[in-house]
Structure 1
Amino acid sequence: MRGDISTSLSGIFMVSITLLAALFKTAFINGWIVRRVLCGYNKPDMVEILRNKSFATRFQILIEIATHGPTIQQRAIAQELSITPQAVSDYISQLEGESMITYLGRSRYQITREGVNWVLKNVREVKAYFDGIDSVINGIVISPAIAEKDIKQGEQVGLKMVNGLLYATADCQTKSTGIAEADAKAGEDVGVRDIQGLIEFSYGLVAVLVVPGIAKGGSRHIDLELLKTRLKGVSYVGAIGLESVAALHRAGIEPDYLYDVSGVVIDAALHGLSSAVVCTEEDVYALVSSLKDRNIEYSLISL
């Protein structure tokens, strides 16, 4: 009985280690890979044991009894799980009441057949969950990059971010390297596998320039020279609100983005690109909230 539980648990831990290794291997490749994993793509439903702390604690207590029982003190279980002895006592009472364990007296407990079946059921569910996640991750461990120069299949390449895009370069002195999956000419896309190390780049910044709403005069009541100065040298400019578009036109500037501006500048910042958003007062709160939610650094300037 203990052998079955130990074997199943070993399987869980091995799958978990494999999963975490894959996550950390790809997590620093580029922002869209991480979001692709976490945002779905047939990701299986979270199992109860990973979602419910109480559920997980019951599971762990049963494992402790199965592997160290029948003679095991509640204090030892509490220390192992970093919870109070009183909490262990409460859980054990519940488990005994549900016929998951049997109390044999004098700090002696034995897991019952019902308890074993419950543990193995959850082991299978967790393993299935991790297998599902693992399959998602394995589908994206080959990352696309743009060949900086001609590259041969099997060649080791360096990886770097340039203007928000991932490039594969023959220079392997970069902190992140990988192996080219195919031949590629300069400018072509190429798959890169066996990626090691961290790609060096810093998140971009967002400058938020606030324009009064039309009720307060709109674009007519801004410091036009301040707007021009703040946007000098800025590569990417977004506009939220018609007053902002008019303000930019007064400054002789055509906005790069008019729709889903907050999403665009956040994505750009996550790929190392800085930008500016000219925004009406009414829309500032929503924009700033979105930036804060993604931990994007921003500045706020009233025009």
Structure 2
Amino acid sequence: MGPSEDPDELTGPRVLDNRRDATRYRVLVEIAARQPAVSQEEIADVIGVTSQAVSDYVRDLVDGGFVEKRGRGRYEVTKEGVDWIITRTDALSEFVSRVSDDVLGSVDVDAAVATDAFEEGDDVGLEMRDGVLHAVPEGGSAATAVVVTGGETGEAIGVTDFEGVVEYDPGVVTVVPIPAVTEGDPPHSDVIRDRATEADLVAVGGTEAYALATRTGVRPDARFGSATGVSQAALRGLDVLLLVSTDELSRHTTRLREDGVRYEVRDSLDR
């Protein structure tokens, strides 16, 4: 925008029509955020234009009645300028909402691990393996989808147009309370090691549980956020061994109940 532009055009620009209108909107917003002491150099740095360009925008905003100059380097957005910002911001918000709901919302794309090389447009089956959605060659799967972004074996690909239901059984969580340091002895290491081998995933909650796992030679798959992680893993079909300190037990079992996860608390793994 230059000095020769008609200031009356400021009454109704469509912010997304072109770069000029978008920059004009941003300059006015920056003035409103920084008033009354406004550094045109700072605005130029934020927006990514020259100081001279900002000066031209500011002059036209003043001429259009959207900004009032109070002195050297001091500006204030007028009521008309505030109304203009609100109107354009509301319009942008409505546009973003429509894009999100009508455009993006209508394209339901999920990610799946490819078990073979797939191209865009391929029909695939869907299976849950190790708690992760996998795309397999079509045929024999209760759930199917269409590939929207292809890839090689082992890569994540995008799938959509889902039909059917992915068949898998939710996992079971075996909860083993580990006594606090002021309480009794923990379960025998050999028993913990054997049960960890049988589980799809091992999680620990609390310092006592972590110490027991490492002393036993068991490397936990989940150490942090275990209440959430264990629940999500079981819901995706994994059997989980949860070693949890007694002071953390209630928090973990409450989350499992709330999420509808099957679990059993074993005070002794010998039984």
Q: Return the offset for 1:136.
A: 8.7
Partners of 2:103 and 2:240 in 1: CA distance: 32
* TM-score of the two chains, using structure 2 as the length reference: 0.57
Which is strand-richer, 1 or 2?
Answer: 2
Paired letter, 2:159: V
Partners of 1:295 and 1:191 in 2: CA distance: 29
Are residues 257 and 140 of structure 1, via their aligned partners in 2, closer, same or farther at CA, if it must alter by over 3 Å?
Answer: farther
CA contact (8 A) 1:156 1:172 kept: no
Are residues 213 and 138 of structure 1, via their aligned partners in 2, closer, same or farther at CA, if it must alter by over 3 Å?
Answer: same
Are residues 134 and 279 of structure 1, via their aligned partners in 2, closer, same or farther at CA, if it must alter by over 3 Å?
Answer: same
| Identical residues among aligned pairs (%) | 25
Partners of 2:166 and 2:233 in 1: CA distance: 16
Give the corresponding residue for 1:192: 159
Q: 1:174 aligns with which of 128, 132, 141?
A: 141
Partners of 2:240 and 2:102 in 1: CA distance: 36
Give the corresponding residue for 1:149: 116
Are residues 299 and 135 of structure 1, via their aligned partners in 2, closer, same or farther at CA, if it must alter by over 3 Å?
Answer: farther
Give the length in aligned residue pairs.
Answer: 172
Give the corresponding residue for 1:213: 180
Are residues 162 and 133 of structure 1, via their aligned partners in 2, closer, same or farther at CA, if it must alter by over 3 Å?
Answer: same
Q: Give structure 2 stretches of 5+ with no counterpart.
A: 1-97
Partners of 1:136 and 1:152 in 2: CA distance: 23
Q: Give structure 1 stretches of 5+ with no counterpart.
A: 1-130
Give the corresponding residue for 2:247: 282
Give the corresponding residue for 2:192: 227
Matched, 1:291 2:256: yes
Q: Which moved more, 1:154-163 or 1:165-174?
A: 165-174
* TM-score of the two chains, using structure 1 as the length reference: 0.52
Q: Return the offset for 1:137.
A: 7.4
Partners of 1:221 and 1:204 in 2: CA distance: 25
CA contact (8 A) 2:107 2:160 kept: no
Are residues 189 and 249 of structure 1, via their aligned partners in 2, closer, same or farther at CA, if it must alter by over 3 Å?
Answer: closer
Q: Return the offset for 1:152.
A: 2.3
Paired letter, 1:163: D
Partners of 1:210 and 1:191 in 2: CA distance: 41
Partners of 1:227 and 1:288 in 2: CA distance: 20
CA contact (8 A) 2:138 2:144 kept: no
CA contact (8 A) 1:183 1:190 kept: yes
Spell out, residue by residue over 1:15-67, the C-alpha distance to the aligned partner (whole angstroms, 9 max, x if none): xxxxxxxxxxxxxxxxxxxxxxxxxxxxxxxxxxxxxxxxxxxxxxxxxxxxx
Relative contact order, higher structure (CA 8 A, sep 6+): 1
Q: Return the offset for 1:178.
A: 1.4
Paired letter, 2:135: A
Q: Secondary structure at the match of 1:249?
A: helix
Are residues 195 and 245 of structure 1, via their aligned partners in 2, closer, same or farther at CA, if it must alter by over 3 Å?
Answer: same
Partners of 2:265 and 2:218 in 1: CA distance: 20
Partners of 1:183 and 1:226 in 2: CA distance: 45
